[in-house]
Amino acid sequence: MNISTEEIVRRVILHAGEMARDDAYSWPTAKQALVRILSELESRSADDPSLAQLRDFIAEQEREYASLQKRGPSLGKGRNPGRPPRR
């Protein structure tokens, strides 16, 4: 079975977004995985326009994480500062 790069990107973003909403992951770890996936996809199909979506998703999550880190631990009980906020 041959899955298109566009479909892989769609599934990766969907899965990562679900995990972020469920507060079920650490952003630094997730970012490493996403960057690795992006790198692999770029090596297979560097000109695929869907890769921009994955780059944008990673950048957006990174901004949210940085914003969360600036606000510090005063976000309330049970909040893991290693995770971007839920959407």
Euclidean distance between CA atoms 87 and 23, whole angstroms: 10
Q: pLDDT by residue (tens digit) across 21-76?
A: 888 788 999 999 999 999 999 999 989 999 999 999 999 999 988 988 888 765 44
27: exposed, middle or buried (C-beta count within 10 Å: 0-12, 13-18, 19+)? buried
pLDDT for the residue 77: 45
The model's pTM is: 0.77
Q: Residue 57 corresponds to which tokens in the numbers above?
A: 């998703």
pLDDT for the residue 49: 94
